[in-house]
């Protein structure tokens, strides 16, 4: 392990891409100083994006437990997700990186390309049990830069009472044609069809991707016939009154608020709404988003990766690897993912989650079909592609351009 930060210069493209990638993240407060220079050899620094967890939380206690197991003390700093990437780049420029970094998965490849992270080969981390589709979000240039601590993704929540009134059997919804037929029945019964987020930010792209990928489209060809069919599906839903015009400005939160009124049959949303779903006051179910012709569409993965940043003192990697392994193994992984409302990244722990809570089964299925936004070795190209995607969605749904023209323009701009 002879790598050092001095051999891996930060690139301007990586810094710019990181800024775009973080543009749609949630806001929380910084819970500590980011200074790591004064930390001695017996103390290891961990940065995470969970400022909602105080020192007395199970998460903070787990960090301390893993530190004790590795015979070191832990200095933890929790950042806003939107701040963490930029703080990490700055620390790397100063030769002051944390020993362990837990970061949103789309940012991993950007930091890797910038020369900030070590590979799993360098830090001897075993990722053999991790589901390949989830691990792919942390891969770039044929190398792996960490391991997922858990994952969330998108699926369709449905209101059982609304579907019953409309005479829709949820078992019949298996592809786009049967889903659209269900929406037509719901509208005819006097209720509302489906709500989602098509806002002009990363959230809009995040919500469009299951339909884009479910049509068989690829992010390197935004103007393909498959991509056009996906955008046309959404446009037709608005045209026919199956989805509200408010989707153009909806965030995932405001979209959920529409569904929570009890008037909608379906809502595209994520595992993070499970607690709210239980408080909604009506019976609900969860259905993986169907592909165009059937099966489960690939939805984008959310969630964080545990990574080991490059250090001048490469002797620190051995202990960092012990900390990373502790955080992502066995019961620790199960307990952490329960706390974060995540699906575990390994089949072994997923089975344990479903055994404890059968309601997680459709989410496990959705995660198994999910895909990283930076997969296919897109790396720093993803933010630019995503920006053109959400602009195309906005143009088509607002009626300013046809789906074909909007995506053709997006492809030209993304090259």
13, with CB counted inside 10 A (0-12, 13-18, 19+), is middle
Residues 250 and 104 in one domain: no
Residues 89 and 129 in one domain: yes
| pLDDT value for 40 | 52
Of all residues in the chain, the percent with pLDDT exceeding 70 is 90
Q: What residues contact residue 232 under an 8 Å CB cut-off, 6+ apart? A: 403
Q: What average pLDDT does this structure show over 394-405?
A: 98
pLDDT tens digit string along 280-337? 999 999 999 999 999 999 999 999 999 999 999 999 999 999 999 999 988 899 998 9
Residue 55 lies in a domain: yes
Residues 109 and 243 in one domain: no
Element (H, E) at 293: none
Q: Please state the pTM of the whole predicted model.
A: 0.83
Residues 138 and 247 in one domain: no
Residues 221 and 312 in one domain: no
Residues 175 and 281 in one domain: yes
For the ranges 122-126, 161-165, 220-224, which has the lowest average pLDDT? 122-126
Is the model's pLDDT at 154 over the cut of 70? Answer: yes
Structure tokens that stand for 127 in this block: 């990722």
Alpha carbons 225 and 232: distance in angstroms, whole number: 10
- Across the chain, mean pLDDT equals 89
Residue 373 lies in a domain: no
Alpha carbons 386 and 374: distance in angstroms, whole number: 10
Residues 59 and 110 in one domain: yes
Report residue 295: phi and psi, to 5°.
75, 175
Residues 394 and 247 in one domain: yes
pLDDT tens digit string along 206-260? 999 999 999 999 999 999 999 999 999 999 999 999 999 999 999 999 999 999 9
Give, in degrees to the nearest 5, the angle at Cα 33 between 31 and 34.
110
Is the model's pLDDT at 20 over the cut of 50? Answer: no
102: helix, strand or coil: strand
More confident residue, 343 or 83: 343
pLDDT tens digit string along 369-391? 999 998 877 888 898 999 999 99
Residue 288 lies in a domain: yes
| pLDDT value for 340 | 85
- The residues with which 305 forms a beta bridge, in sequence order, are 103, 148
Residue 90 lies in a domain: yes
Structure tokens that stand for 19 in this block: 């800024």
| pLDDT value for 389 | 98
Residue 327 lies in a domain: yes
Residues 32 and 108 in one domain: yes
DSSP-derived pairing of the beta strands 73-78 and 43-48 = parallel
Give the CATH number, domain containing residue 115: 3.40.190.10
Give, in degrees to the nearest 5, the angle at Cα 121 between 82 and 129.
80
324, with CB counted inside 10 A (0-12, 13-18, 19+), is buried
| pLDDT value for 82 | 76
Residues 17 and 137 in one domain: yes
Q: What average pLDDT does this structure show over 161-177?
A: 98
Residue 168 lies in a domain: yes
Confidence band, pLDDT 50/70/90 cuts, at residue 12: very low
Q: Which domain holds residue 286?
A: 154-299+378-414
Is the model's pLDDT at 7 over the cut of 50? Answer: no
Of all residues in the chain, the percent with pLDDT exceeding 90 is 80
Residue 101 lies in a domain: yes
Alpha carbons 358 and 360: distance in angstroms, whole number: 5
Residues 248 and 384 in one domain: yes
Alpha carbons 193 and 156: distance in angstroms, whole number: 12
In 189-267, which residue ranges form alpha helices assigned H by DSSP?
202-214, 225-239, 252-259
Q: How many domains does the chain have?
A: 2
Is the model's pLDDT at 148 over the cut of 70? Answer: yes
Residue pair 4/59 in contact (Cβ under 8 Å)? The answer is no
For the ranges 20-34, 40-54, 104-118, which has the lowest average pLDDT? 20-34
Confidence band, pLDDT 50/70/90 cuts, at residue 1: very low
* 137: nearest Cα among 121, 122, 151: 151
Residues 78 and 121 in one domain: yes
């Amino acid at each position: 392990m002879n790598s050092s930060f001095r051999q891996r210069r930060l690139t301007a493209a990586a810094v710019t891409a990181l800024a775009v990638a973080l543009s749609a993240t949630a806001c929380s407060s910084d819970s500590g100083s980011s200074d790591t220079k004064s930390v001695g050899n017996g103390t290891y620094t961990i940065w995470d994006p969970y400022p909602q967890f105080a020192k007395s939380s199970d998460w903070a206690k787990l960090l301390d437990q893993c530190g004790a197991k590795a015979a070191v003390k832990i200095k933890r700093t929790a950042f806003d997700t939107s701040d963490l990437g930029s703080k990490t780049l700055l620390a790397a420029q100063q030769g002051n990186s944390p020993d362990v970094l837990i970061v949103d998965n789309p940012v991993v490849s950007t930091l890797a390309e910038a020369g900030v992270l070590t590979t799993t080969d360098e830090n001897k981390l075993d990722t053999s049990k991790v589901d390949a589709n989830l691990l792919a979000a942390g891969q770039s240039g044929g190398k792996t830069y960490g391991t997922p601590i858990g994952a969330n993704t998108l699926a369709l929540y449905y209101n059982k009472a609304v579907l019953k009134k409309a005479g829709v059997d949820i078992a019949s919804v298996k592809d786009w044609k049967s889903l659209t037929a269900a929406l037509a029945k719901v509208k005819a019964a006097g209720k509302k069809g489906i709500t989602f987020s098509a806002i002009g930010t990363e959230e809009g792209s995040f919500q469009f991707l299951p339909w884009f990928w479910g049509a068989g489209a690829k992010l390197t060809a935004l103007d393909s016939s498959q991509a056009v069919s996906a955008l046309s599906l959404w446009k037709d839903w608005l045209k026919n009154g199956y989805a509200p015009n408010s989707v153009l400005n909806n965030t995932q939160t405001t979209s959920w608020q529409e569904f929570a009124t009890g008037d909608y049959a379906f809502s595209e949303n994520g595992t993070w709404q499970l607690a709210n779903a239980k408080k909604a006051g009506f019976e609900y179910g969860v259905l993986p988003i169907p592909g165009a012709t059937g099966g489960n569409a690939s939805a984008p993965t959310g969630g964080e990766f545990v990574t080991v940043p490059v250090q001048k003192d490469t002797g620190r990697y051995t202990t960092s690897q012990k900390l990373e392994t502790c955080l992502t193994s066995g019961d620790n992984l199960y307990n952490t993912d329960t706390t974060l409302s995540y699906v575990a990244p390994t089949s072994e722990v997923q089975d344990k989650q479903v055994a404890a809570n059968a309601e997680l089964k459709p989410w496990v299925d959705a995660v198994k079909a999910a895909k990283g936004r930076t997969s296919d070795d897109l790396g720093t190209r993803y933010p630019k592609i995503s920006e053109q995607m959400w602009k195309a969605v906005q143009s088509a749904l607002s009626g300013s351009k046809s789906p074909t023209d909007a995506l053709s323009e997006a492809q030209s701009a993304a090259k």
